[in-house]
Structure formats: C-alpha cells, structure tokens
Amino acid sequence: MKQSKYERFSIRARKGAPVSTPSGSEVTFTPLGAVQPGGSRAAATAEQAVIPADAIARVTLDNGFELWIRADDLMQEAGSKAETRSDGEVLWDIGDLNAHTPGSRGLGSALGLATRVIEFFGIDLKDKAQEFVARRLATRFERKILGREPGLYRCDIENAALGAKIDRIEAADDTPLLVFLHGTASSFDGSFGKLAADDNPRGNAACARLASVYGEGSYAFEHRTLTVSPIQNALELAESLPQGATLHLVSHSRGGLVGELLCLGQRVRSSDPLRAEVLKRLFVGDVSIAQQLNIEPLDEAGEKRLKEDYAADRDALLKLAEVLDAKQFRITRFVRVACPAMGTTLASGRLDRWCSTPAASPVCSTCRWHPRRSTSWPPCCASAPIHAYCPAWKR
C-alpha cells in the first residue's frame, strides 16, 4: 500500500460543483467533493472539502480524457499550501493546470491540456478477496482490448486485418512464416492496424511488399499482457507453430519479450541459461525497490504469493525450453520496436495513472496531432507504433 505524509487534505473547493458518481459491479464509489482548478482561490465561492490521502481523484481534461490518480499523488504534483490555520491545519489549493499558463505545472502541463474538473471518491471493493477482484477486472479489461479470443490468427497483411483463429499450424516447409506480436494492453489492431490506413502511403507500401513476400504465411498472435507472463505467452505461441518452422517476427513493446523468449530455442548449449540448476537461482536475488517508490514492503502473505509466482515462472521456463528444443524453430529475422528488454518501471507506483492510458487518445506534444484529426502518424511522433516502411525490411 502507498504511504503518504498526510492522512487527509483540506482543499478549498468550489461551492455547488457537481460530482458524477461512476458505477461498477466490483467497486462502490462514494463522492467526497469536486474542485475546479483556477476557481478554488475565490473566497466568495470556496468551501472546504476534506479528502483522505488514499481517496481516488478523477481528473477530467478539456478533451474529455479522464485520468484516475490517488489524492496524495495529485496533491504532490499539483497542490499548493494556501494557508496554515491557528489550529495547525493546512488548507490546500489545486492550481490551474493549463499548460499554456505561465508557471503552470502538474498533470495538465504533462499532457498539454487544461483541466475541466477534479472529483474525489472513496472506494470500497465489494469482494473481500481484493486480489481475486483485481485479476477479474484485469481479465475483463484484456478481453475488451483484444476484442476476440486470445490465440494465433491468420493475417491479411495487405489490409492489416485478421482472419480466422487457428489452433495450430500443422506442417512447415522452407517458406518463412511472418508473425506479429503486439504490445502491452493492446492487440494487432492497436499496434499494427494503422499500417493500412488510407492516408498512410508508406504503410500501405510496406503491407503490399509483405503480402507479396509472405502471401498466406502471415499470422498475428493475440495474447493477454496483464494477467499472463511473457513466458506463458511464448509457450502458448510455440505450441501453436509447426516443428522446424522458419520464423520472421515483428514486435511492438512487450511483444518483443515474447519474441526474445522464442529465440532461446537457438541458445548456445555450452552456456545454457535454461538449465534446471541455473533456473533454481533465478529471481532468488530479486531486490525490492518499494522504498524508492514510496510503497510499503509486501506482507508475509504477499511474499508467499511472490515466491509462488516466481516458482511458476521457473517451471514455465523449463517447459518452454523443452518445447523449443523439440520444435527447432529457425528465427532468421526479428524487427523489434520499443521492447522493454532491460525492464521497465512503467507501472511501478503509478498503476492508477497507467490504467487510465488505454482509454486516452494520444496527443503529440510537438505538433498537437490527434487521431481524431488524422489516422496517419506524423514524423515527429516517435511513440507511433511501426508507422513507416523500413527500407531494411527486405527479403
């Protein structure tokens, strides 16, 4: 659980600001108050809202994007102490977060947008088994993002569209198979779909080129990325591919980890990292960075679950090694884009904020590009998933 210096915040809120309470089958929301940044300083219209540090804030930006964040994180980034009363109580303001206002800071500045309203809620999980609820929510979220059942799909690469789901490819010849591996909380459509957009001629050229080279040998692996480890993803994919297949992989983000694991089938046996005696030591020296992230260490039950999860990963790696040794894949080309091969703290201590991202539409801080204005990625948008034909990608 996140630690905070303050147990609660007394915030000057705007009188009469309405709170729209969300609903959910797993979570009960209790409205605590609302703040309209920039208007909270007006004494005539201000009243005091007492917000617990562990409350949840819903920050609604001018473009309608909703960012969910803990109250103490919000106050650390955007709050300022307005006054200290005689009883020692601190009264807080949340300033105008408009990035175009001189001296502005915080969430609006990070996204280049003004903040419309901030609403605070207390939350209560209806199910006492919080881990079970979290996993169920994550599974439901993954299903919504994928839009289809996980598995291996035929891919009409010329149109960047998926065809039928297949259980496995039965036999392989010398013709290479092209396999797309999408990123975190995404899908083939999300990571690669814009290659075939009408106003993306370079992407269209790439798709036409790939279609001429691979024909019907193009596939996409739709897989869970939040509730299943990359090891399990790689194992499921390996079991679906034919023995002795020559593979060409294209990955985005976390999909690169799945591809890297498949490449272990071509590891050097003299220094085999997948030997049982080596895997026994894997994860044993894991060092928690909880204190650096201002997060409490795991309790005894949490430590037990962590060790069980690590043991399951070690077993899955042994199983993956067996499958790869039997399948004898030849991975001769691998285009890996934005893979977190060195690890990432993307969600560490910021899971609330990270979970808001899939609902958002990206806005380029350089050219103000927005997908509602155009379906093509401008050159300055370095975060765009594979948006242009790479000249190096030739057979």
Tokens of 184: 């975190």
Bridge partner residues of 28 (DSSP): 124
Tell whether 226 and 85 lie within a shared domain.
Answer: no
Q: Are 356 and 66 in contact (CB under 8 A)?
A: yes
User: How many domains does one find in the chain?
Assistant: 2
Does 218 share its domain with 196? yes
Q: What angle do CA 40, 59, 131 make, to 5 degrees?
A: 130
Q: Are residues 77 and 138 in the same domain?
A: no
Q: What pLDDT is attached to residue 365? A: 39
Strand 161-166, strand 66-70: pairing: unpaired
How many angstroms separate the Cα of 112 from the Cα of each of 85, 94, 355?
Answer: 34, 17, 19
* Distances 167 to 68, 152, 199, 224 between C-alpha atoms, Å: 38, 7, 34, 16
Considering 106, 125, 144, which residue would you say is the last residue of a domain? Answer: 125
The whole domain housing 243 covers 130-359
Query: Other CB atoms closer than 10 Å to residue 160's CB: what's the count?
Result: 23
239-to-80, 220, 233, 353 alpha-carbon distances in Å:
56, 14, 10, 35
* Structural domain contains residue 177: yes
261 and 353 in a single domain? The answer is: yes
Same domain membership, residue 143 and residue 58: no
Note whether 183 and 280 are same-domain residues: yes
The answer to whether residue 390 sits within a structural domain is no
Phi first, then psi, for residue 60 (nearest 5°) are -100, 120
Nearest to 117 by CA among 192, 185, 58: 58
CA terminus-to-terminus distance, the chain:
51
Q: Is residue 317 part of a domain?
A: yes
Predicted pLDDT of residue 380: 44
| pTM reported for the whole predicted model | 0.67
Q: What is the sign of the dihedral through the CA atoms of 304, 308, 313 and 314? A: positive
Same-domain check for residues 224 and 301: yes
Of 101, 125, 149, which one is at a domain's C-terminal end? 125
Q: Note whether 117 and 149 are same-domain residues.
A: no
CA 221 to CA 317: how far, in whole Å? 19
Does residue 51 fall inside a structural domain?
yes
pLDDT at 381: 41
Residues of the chain with pLDDT under 70: 1-5, 13-19, 24-26, 38-46, 95-113, 125-134, 285-296, 344-395
**2 inside domain:** no
